[in-house]
Chain A
């Protein structure tokens, strides 16, 4: 199996599409993100990655803004 590096979502550049591997967060946040579609293997497109400030991503056709903290905790392939 290809050993792809896990990267935090915060490191993904604008326009790139990645797959969610896991989220390093507590149950509350995990649940909230899950209900908005952020589940393992889901495709995430980074719409806007600007420093400083939140991310805009597109998941299942919906756009969301994420804070820096969360973007660090979402690990993607």
Chain B
């Protein structure tokens, strides 16, 4: 199950009341018919269980073409009318589909991308293994860029709103998405997150993906840039072990660089491996804890941030 938890307690990020125009929201498929948005404004309080998974509409819900969110299993459906275990027989006919499995996600990602471009919002997909320092970096970034850059965050975790609360405490608007059994964010979840976050033009949305160096690499969210954090405590072999993740990085942040004297981490072999996997990626050494090197990350973000539209 996907739960959307607005960690933004005071609702500051979102004037989501009456008269709010939803027409320019990146709605997930199937989302809309009979769905009353005034029922659950973001800022509704912690632990709020969003009753609708992305793509999960209310009235007029048609299961035949309904793109189920990950983790949305068969349980709960009424399948009594299904003919079970058909088995294959001689009279069966072949239907050619030639359809990409991720076509639905890619289509939604493209919709997110167009929505972001129209609004003038930069979305960055931030990925790493668990514990590499994504949230710590974003906390520092929110504090140090306050007043200089409008930053909001979509937090993805399997469970808890802990990270969402940390980001909120650091001063940025945030929505927390819990993926349940899901090991990554997908484009439908991000559409729902963007809808709740309602980021202003000229701002930056960082999508903190579920900590995982494997699955998030496969799912386009509609972001304009991908940033991967590799921390020195993880060891230098991670790019070589998880090439799919590092291949598509625009920026690799080598975090916890302050711990370099205490761990075995060969900076040169790490960078050589990265060059061999992602020749175009920019590599920057940072410490989210001490602040070392973070200026280069801020500069990178601000260079890409769109100009405010007004």
Do A and B come together as binding partners? no
